[in-house]
Amino acid sequence: MEAPTATLIAVLTLGAALILLAWAVYRSFPRIPRLETLSFWCPFRGRNVTTEFQEDAWDAKLIDVQSCDAFEPPSAVGCDKLCLHLRTLPAPQKRDRAAERR
């Protein structure tokens, strides 16, 4: 009869091999971008914007900015795209219309 430690080592080795195989397969697949439209408060422009991002379908990471309504035309994005580096996009701000008139 085998010692329990030998069985444990065999199971752990097989598990690690399967994890490495799954990781290698995941890394070998190409990125699949999808378009995602998000509205948020742009701290760099100081206004609410609606932006169309390219998003990685595997991990939902924002890859690129396709268009942003802060620019005219929206497809002519003329900034450094710093919103891609934010951890979370700020929620759109509601402005007090009475305060804006003053």
Same domain (yes/no): 71, 93: yes
Measured CA angle at 55 (ends 88, 64), to 5 deg: 85
What are residue 39's DSSP bridge partners?
A: 50
Residues 66 and 97 in one domain: yes
Q: What is the pTM of this model?
A: 0.63
Residues 26 and 38 in one domain: no
**β-pairing verdict for 47-56 and 62-68:** antiparallel
24 and 38 part of one domain: no
**Residue 37 and residue 21 in one domain:** no
Question: pLDDT of 31-42, one tens digit each?
Answer: 789 999 999 999
Residues 8 and 50 in one domain: no
Same domain, 61 and 89: yes
Q: Containing domain of residue 11, as a range?
A: 1-30
Share of the chain above pLDDT 70, in %: 91
Domains of the chain: total = 2
Q: Model confidence over 81-93: pLDDT tens digits?
A: 999 999 999 999 9
